[in-house]
Amino acid sequence: MKKIVLLSLSIFLLSGCASLKSWFGGVSNEAYIKIDDVKYRAGNASGALIGSVGYASGLGLFGGANTFDRKKIPDYGSLKLTYEGVIDQAKIENYAVEAKAEVEGEIVKKVEANASAEGRVATESEKQVTYHLISITSSDDLIVELNLSKNSRSFDLMKAGKTSSRIVTKILVAYGYKLSETIKASGSAGLSLASASNLANLVVGGAASADTKNKVSLSDGMIVGYSYDILCWRRNASDKVEILTSVLDQYGASQKCPSGSQQAPDKI
């Protein structure tokens, strides 16, 4: 009996170690940041490119899956985004000093590398880091894109992932001064996501803008936090499996697909 109890306790502790670390303030798969009382996942944030699809992971004792394993960036062509503005660093709660230093250190390296490629030295003002909140504007437009034949590979990956499949719909991303100024201009000019061949750029001014100065690579920034959605599946009138909609997978809460759809595509 003692062996059984000890074995059960060992399994209990091992399966929940990430959550226990988070509970006591350590870094874990269940880390999050908070802005205006809204929690954003932070586990494996660097891979959570907006619009990308992948699988949730990191099940723990005190919550659900809270990290993101990116599998692919669908080919959107141009997907409208909403620029929600610059976020005051003082409003970012639960942002560990070590994590902040690492993020901003990486931004400085990127700024210096870009300046060096231009044959110059980056100024101190260029190294100033600003945080931006960006989200996908229309869930309906997103779902239309995901169901298109050009995104069959992404569709198959999401279908295979079953209930663990997620799509990133909002990010908090840090950039240096120069690229931050370009992104801030999107407040009046508009912002979109252009992606192809697993690469993604933020485009200021919409798809009609061909000026490279209006394009900002997601890889030039550092993603600090993100939100992702679960996917809800159904069979259409032709008895073909398709994605009906997506639902925000809110941190620490349960989600439910609307009537007539299921989160598990193999159950419909």
Q: What pLDDT score does 267 carry?
A: 92
CB 172 within 8 A of CB 164: no
Return mean pLDDT, the chain.
Answer: 85
Q: Express each pLDDT in 23-68 by its tens digit.
A: 323 333 448 999 999 999 998 999 999 999 999 987 554 445 678 9
Q: Which two tokens stand for residue 98?
A: 């070590």
Q: Express each pLDDT in 178-205 by its tens digit.
A: 999 999 988 767 899 998 777 888 998 7
Give 91's DSSP letter: G
The long-range contacts involving 160-164, CB below 8 angstroms and separated by at least 24 positions, are 161/54, 161/55, 161/71, 162/264, 162/265, 162/266, 163/230, 163/263, 163/264, 164/55, 164/56, 164/57, 164/65
Higher-pLDDT residue of 12, 42: 42
Tell me which of 72-76, 83-87, 196-200, 233-237 is least confident: 196-200
Q: What pLDDT score does 54 carry?
A: 97
**In this model, does residue 8 exceed pLDDT 60?**
no
**In this model, does residue 220 exceed pLDDT 80?**
yes
Tell me which of 18-22, 132-136, 158-162 is least confident: 18-22
115 Cβ contact list (under 8 Å, min separation 6): 121, 122, 126
The amino acid that residue 209 corresponds to is: S
Q: Express each pLDDT in 86-134 by its tens digit.
A: 999 999 999 989 999 999 999 999 999 999 999 999 999 999 999 999 9
**Measuring CA to CA, how many Å separate 100 from each of 19, 27, 128, 181, 238?**
21, 13, 13, 21, 50
Q: What pLDDT score does 80 carry?
A: 94
Tell me which of 24-28, 81-85, 213-217, 254-258 is least confident: 24-28
Separation between Cα atoms, residue 81 and residue 183, nearest integer Å: 12
